[in-house]
Amino acid sequence: MAKTPIAFTHNGDERAVFVDDGQNLLDMLRRTAGDLTPKYGCGQGTCGACTVLVDGAPQLACITLAETVDGRRIDTVAGLAAGQGGGRLSPLQKAFMDNFAAQCGYCTDGMLMSATALLARNPRPSRDEVVEAISGNLCRCTGYEAIINAVLQAASGGGSAQAGRR
Amino acid sequence: MPIEFRKEYFADERDDNLNEIGKPTQRQDMLGHVTGRSPFYDDHLFDGLCHIRCVRSPHHHARVRRIDVSEAERVPGVRRVILARDVPHNLNTLLSLMDFGLDDEPMLTPEGAEVRYRGEPVAAIVADTERIAREAVAKVRVDYEVLPHVLDVEEAVKPGAVAVNPAYPANKFVYHGKYDHQKLRYGDVEAGFRQADRVIEGRYQMSPIEQAPIETCGAIAAPETNDRYVCYTSTQALFFSLGTAAKLLDISSARLHLIGGTVGGGFGGKVDSIHEPLAILGTVLTGRPCKAMFDREEEMQVGAPRGAERWYITDGVMNDGTLVARKFVGYFDAGAYTRLSSYAIIKGVGHLPGPYTIPNVYADVYCVFTNRTPATAMRGFGVTGVDFAIESHMDVVADELGLDPIEMRIKNAYRDGDMKAHRRLAKNTALVECCQVAAEKAGWPLSAEARAASSLTGGGGARGEMPAFTALDEHGRVSGYESGSYAQGDRPRGEAAGSGAQGRSGSGTPSGQPSPRPRAEPPRAPQPTRVEPTRAEPARAEPQWSDPYAGRPSAPAGTAPASPRPERSPAPDAGPDGTAPRRGPRFASISGLRRR
Amino acid sequence: MPVAVSTFRTLSEAARAFESDRAARIYSGGTIVMRDVNEGDVSFNRLIRITDPAYRAVSVGSEIRLGGGVTMGEIAAHRDLAFLAPVARAVGGPQVRTVATVAGNLFAPRPYGEMAAALVALGAVAETAEGRRLPVEELVRGAPRALVAAVAFPRPSGDFRFAKVTRVRPKGAALMSIAALLPRGGSGETRIVFNGMGPHPVRAVAAERALAGRASDPSAIAAAARAAAEGLSPLDDALASAWYRREVAGVHLKRLLESR
């Protein structure tokens, strides 16, 4: 099986790996790069659990050919807290905790990355814009409301949203 | 939407000075979730991990004439092809771990035996990569003799229907060794119908529902020290998975180290313990770490859903909306194998007739085998389907009588102190208040009388009495089953003959084919003098007993037996793991299950 | 056998490689072909990638030219392509739009193909890497084995409208989608295209005839709605039955025509 060398920036760190023929980005990140935060949910680009940012734009790792990220920047949940220095949670992660926006936790990594992409380009989104931004991420536990509230709370500067803890 | 507490209700039944209850609290696993560090089973990495993919039947029902794996075995990177003969104890039913039901499902279908639903596995490939496993699966040649199939519950219980599952030749699960359905008898519904102003029937159907967790079901096994195997699993039922793996693989559970705990969405769909035995067997046979997991298509197509249900409800009702009799005939579609459907019905029948006080209740509920995907647990299974039927029917009846549907519910709702059809006194009831709040929220006008109603008043007294007379019958009685014969350990080990038996333990082991039982037929009895008011049943004998239990509990649906049952005769052989079979009253463990 | 990846710097090299290897498929955005890779589809064993900047180029003049590799996200964000943004935003979710391409959408199986339907309505022509030109309306019918380098269409002088009909919002697979090009001032061609009312995007010829030159006339709209499904052969699938699609096609067409 042919191995192709690629280099990319992974949550700010320079990485160089060999990718297999036909290997998808999800498999490369999890098995080769050891970043287990993107999850397998469907392998079909439907559920969004494998969402990562490629040069800041959300992409589905399971339907992205690994070698297409050569020379690009990959961001995942593994970098969210570290990005705040000293492992502090990002405001978005904090808001997810405050709003009970995760139950089983399996869709959470993908949700966080879709929301991260939204807030990076639109720091004050409307509720409809939040809904649109996470429309490619399925959640079977929460019914989405808690997640939408969390993203809105993070956008409003992390203050307690109306749906925060009572 | 914020939660609203209506603390004005039942204030004296509740302490508000508790430290935890009634107060928000953080999930213990939330930090792991938002940092991506919660360890799901697939997050355990192993060097040299092999992937297991199954060869699956494309037919609803077929005989497997021959499985040719020669081409698949030659694919580079294929470590092993697993067939039925590699499974030490290739027959199980999930609830055998609590002595409920006959072993009826093989892990892999052997040559000469039948596949009974589309997607049933006949072989499994262990390969170095998932891609290689998939390619090898495509190279397994299976010669099927396609057989007629049945996909409808009522078709399946007709005489002469295709026999789906040889453990239950009449396509009906056998309850308590006695009946081909679960019974509930409380009072006399026929008398109730005669007394009623109106008798109103309805038919309700619910389709299967896939739990669709975002994390698909799976397990990873690997060799561990001291001759043990570790298995990381998505299971919701760790001890089911442990016991099932130990039984199918004929290996002491002490040698299996199952690790679960973080489930990526389950909703009931991760109790069936399909992947753990397969992953461990792959590891046993190859010495390598092995992963068995559903892909999304398998999760949706092969993963066991909430089963379909069909309900016939007949209500006897007075013109003022008072329910005087309610009769159910229900058909649960178990699919090809029992899994948890038998238990769903026990639970469902215990729930009848819904949260209403009705003096005469009758239910016959069948757990039916069809050539559909086996059904299993999902969020309140056994109760949600019939609740849909009951509440739909309440609306229909109210509409027929020209009554307000919420007021009709309040009129019939359980009050504290009422006797329920499963012979327990109702307490802490609250349907009346729920209806009042729902009406208030919806801006739905209620009469002063309905607004003044309370769960605390109007119950008990005559409503708390057992019926003076309960009409019993023997219809659906089967023979050839013993109430004490459910556990595998009751059967001689070599009894299940058949192809592919090649157990490693040396003793005759089941081969993926349940041994046929005598065909279960209801005994023919003289036609009763009474005529059934509904069409739900084909002309079937319902002899009236001189009732020794009339007026007191008579081991009704879903409750522990009230009368002592005969001890079963001593088992002729040891259980699969060499332990002596347990003795004692049967089915008592089901109440343990209910506590979950 | 694993799937090999071949990357080409020019469209013509990619086209030659694709032409000479029947077991090759194009990796454009990857959203469809990678599913097949993941599922172990053995009908192909090579992916062809194109890094030619021309494949990603957009030019807007009296004619609009979109490279085959232009993504839905790029179209949705492009200042001069605002009329196409609703179509681009109807494709997939945000993550899919980051990578899904114009050329890929032309070959996307049902229920996908929103951009393909829009391009049929716009009278677009597909240009293959070898320089062949083929109306998109014909291309979607046969889905020939071709590397589509770009699509081109005249800047619409009339009114272009688009609607996607789904059960789940904001992101759900389409029961059908409708693209309409309505000439302003009575001159020019009226084009009504349905996706989901047949095996591929198709023009609703009877509705076009009813509307010709008078797309804002209520009686013409009513006639077009009545004729919407005429001559079309919708299929049954998990999203909707053929009967249902036939019943509602006119309703959705009417709403689209009446929308302002």
Is the pLDDT score of B554 beyond 70? no
User: Same domain for B131 and B274?
Assistant: yes
Per-residue confidence band for A158, with pLDDT thresholds at 50, 70 and 90: low
Tell me if residue C244 falls in helix, strand or coil.
helix
Indicate the range of B185-194, B382-391, C10-19, C211-220 predicted with least confidence: C211-220
Mean of all residue pLDDT scores within chain B: 85
For C141-171, write each residue's pLDDT tens digit: 987 899 999 999 999 988 999 999 999 888 8
Is the pLDDT score of A25 beyond 70? yes
For C4, the closest of A2, A57, A60 (CB atoms) is: A2
Cβ contacts below 8 Å, chain B against chain C, sum to 13
Q: How many Å lie between the alpha carbon of A116 and the closest alpha carbon of chain C?
A: 13
Chain A CB within 8 Å of residue C167 CB: no
CATH architecture of the domain covering C159-258: 2-Layer Sandwich (3.30)
Is the pLDDT score of B338 beyond 70? yes
**pLDDT for position C186:** 62
Nearest CA in chain C to A55: C98
Nearest CA in chain C to B130: C40
**pLDDT for position A136:** 97
| CATH 3.10.20.30 location in chain A | 3-79
Per-residue confidence band for C188, with pLDDT thresholds at 50, 70 and 90: confident
Domain residues of chain C, as ranges?
Answer: 4-52, 54-154, 159-258
CATH architecture of the domain covering C54-154: 2-Layer Sandwich (3.30)
Report the b/e string of B512-535 with b at 16+ CB within 10 A: bbbbebeebebeeeeebeeebbee
**pLDDT for position B513:** 57
Per DSSP, the residues of B45-81 read: --TT-EEEEEEE-SSSSEEEEEEE-HHHHTSTTEEEE
**pLDDT for position B334:** 98
Chain A CB within 8 Å of residue B2 CB: yes
Residue ranges of C 211-250 with Cβ closer than 8 A to chain A:
none
Q: For residue B451, give the nearest of B433, B431, B426, B424 by alpha carbon.
A: B433
| Strand order across the C63-67 sheet | C58-60, C63-67, C148-154, C125-128, C133-135
User: Same domain for B296 and B387?
Assistant: no
**pLDDT for position B22:** 77
- B-interface mutation test, from A20, A24, A30, A36, most B Cβ less than 10 A away: A36
Q: Which residue has the higher pLDDT, B171 or B516?
A: B171
**Residues C101-127: what's their mean pLDDT?**
97
Cα separations (Å) of B570 from B338, B480, B580, B581, C65?
A: 26, 17, 10, 9, 84
**pLDDT for position B574:** 38
Backbone angles phi, psi at B502, to 5 degrees: -150, 55
* Spatial contact of B14 and B6, defined as CB atoms under 8 Å apart: no
The correct answer on CATH 3.10.20.30 for the domain covering A3-79 is yes
Tell me if residue A8 falls in helix, strand or coil.
strand
Placement of tokens 């016991």 in the chain: B243
Nearest CA in chain C to A60: C95
Is the pLDDT score of B275 beyond 60? yes
Q: How many Å lie between the alpha carbon of B40 and the closest alpha carbon of chain A?
A: 8
**pLDDT for position B557:** 41
Q: Above pLDDT 90, what percent of chain C? A: 89
Which of B448, B464, B480 corresponds to the end of one domain? Answer: B464
Which stretches of chain C are DSSP H helices? 11-20, 33-38, 72-77, 85-90, 94-99, 102-106, 114-121, 136-142, 205-211, 218-227, 242-258
- Full residue range of the structural domain in which residue B447 is found: 181-209+305-464
- Determine the Cα–Cα distance for residues B391 and C176; give it in Å rounded to an integer: 35
Q: Which residue has the higher pLDDT, B528 or B371?
A: B371
Structure tokens at B201: 């029937």
**pLDDT for position B572:** 37
Q: Above pLDDT 90, what percent of chain B? A: 74
**pLDDT for position B186:** 98
Tell me if residue C133 falls in helix, strand or coil.
strand
**pLDDT for position B529:** 38
Residues in A closer than 8 angstroms to C74, CB to CB, are none
CATH architecture of the domain covering A85-155: Orthogonal Bundle (1.10)
The count of other CB atoms within 10 Å of the CB of residue A72 is 15
Is the pLDDT score of B287 beyond 60? yes
Q: How many Å lie between the alpha carbon of A44 and the closest alpha carbon of chain B?
A: 8
Q: Above pLDDT 70, what percent of chain C? A: 100
**Residues C222-226: what's their mean pLDDT?**
97
Per-residue confidence band for A83, with pLDDT thresholds at 50, 70 and 90: low
Residues in A closer than 8 angstroms to B216, CB to CB, are 40-41
**pLDDT for position C13:** 97
Query: Which amino acid type is present at position C101?
Result: T
Domain count, chain B: 2
For B477-536, write each residue's pLDDT tens digit: 998 887 654 444 444 443 333 333 333 333 333 455 555 444 444 444 433 334 333 433
Q: How many Å lie between the alpha carbon of C3 and the closest alpha carbon of chain A?
A: 5
E-state strands within B249-322: 256-259, 290-293, 309-317
Backbone angles phi, psi at A148, to 5 degrees: -60, -45
Which of B247, B275, B301 corresponds to the end of one domain? Answer: B301
Cα separations (Å) of B147 from B61, B476, B499, C88, C229?
A: 5, 28, 19, 48, 41
Q: Quick check: is B190 in a domain?
A: yes
Q: For residue C166, give the nearest of A135, B301, B407, B332 by alpha carbon.
A: A135
Q: How many Å lie between the alpha carbon of B285 and the closest alpha carbon of chain C?
A: 24
User: Same domain for B224 and B362?
Assistant: no
**pLDDT for position B24:** 82
Per-residue confidence band for A163, with pLDDT thresholds at 50, 70 and 90: very low
Residues in A closer than 8 angstroms to C93, CB to CB, are 48, 135-137
| CATH 1.10.150.120 location in chain A | 85-155
For A1, the closest of C2, C27, C30 (CB atoms) is: C2
Mean of all residue pLDDT scores within chain A: 92
Tell me if residue B528 falls in helix, strand or coil.
coil
- Determine the Cα–Cα distance for residues A111 and B432; give it in Å rounded to an integer: 40
Residues in C closer than 8 angstroms to A65, CB to CB, are 5, 27, 30, 34, 47, 49
Look at A104 and B265 and tell me if their CB atoms are within 8 Å: yes
Look at B134 and C39 and tell me if their CB atoms are within 8 Å: yes
Tell whether ipTM is more than 0.90: yes
Q: For residue B106, give the nearest of B514, B536, B417 by alpha carbon.
A: B514
Tell me if residue A165 falls in helix, strand or coil.
coil
What B534-539 contacts at long range (C-beta under 8 Å, 24+ apart), as own/partner pairs, is: B534/B201, B534/B312, B534/B314, B534/B327, B534/B329, B535/B201, B536/B312, B536/B314, B536/B327, B536/B329, B537/B329, B537/B364
Residues in C closer than 8 angstroms to B297, CB to CB, are 39
Per-residue confidence band for C212, with pLDDT thresholds at 50, 70 and 90: confident
Per-residue confidence band for A81, with pLDDT thresholds at 50, 70 and 90: confident
Q: What CATH number is given to the structural domain containing B234?
A: 3.90.1170.50
Q: For residue C177, give the nearest of C97, C108, C103, C76 by alpha carbon.
A: C108
Radius of gyration of chain A (CA): 16
Residues in A closer than 8 angstroms to B30, CB to CB, are 96-97, 100, 102
Indicate the range of B16-20, B66-70, B468-472, B554-558 predicted with least confidence: B554-558
Q: How many Å lie between the alpha carbon of B30 and the closest alpha carbon of chain A?
A: 6
Element holding B202 (H helix, E strand): strand B198-206
Is the pLDDT score of B16 beyond 90? no
Residues in B closer than 8 angstroms to A145, CB to CB, are 1
User: Same domain for B329 and B403?
Assistant: yes
- A-interface mutation test, from B23, B25, B33, most A Cβ less than 10 A away: B33
Q: How many Å lie between the alpha carbon of A7 and the closest alpha carbon of chain C?
A: 16
Look at C2 and A58 and tell me if their CB atoms are within 8 Å: no
Structure tokens at B312: 């016939």
Which stretches of C31-172 are DSSP H helices? 33-38, 72-77, 85-90, 94-99, 102-106, 114-121, 136-142
**Residues B307-326: what's their mean pLDDT?**
98
Q: CA angle A54-A56-A58, nearest 5°?
A: 65
Nearest CA in chain C to B76: C1
Is the pLDDT score of A1 beyond 70? no
**pLDDT for position B553:** 37
Look at A135 and C171 and tell me if their CB atoms are within 8 Å: yes
Per-residue confidence band for A24, with pLDDT thresholds at 50, 70 and 90: very high
**pLDDT for position A84:** 54
Structure tokens at B224: 């561990």
Q: Which residue has the higher pLDDT, A66 or B548?
A: A66
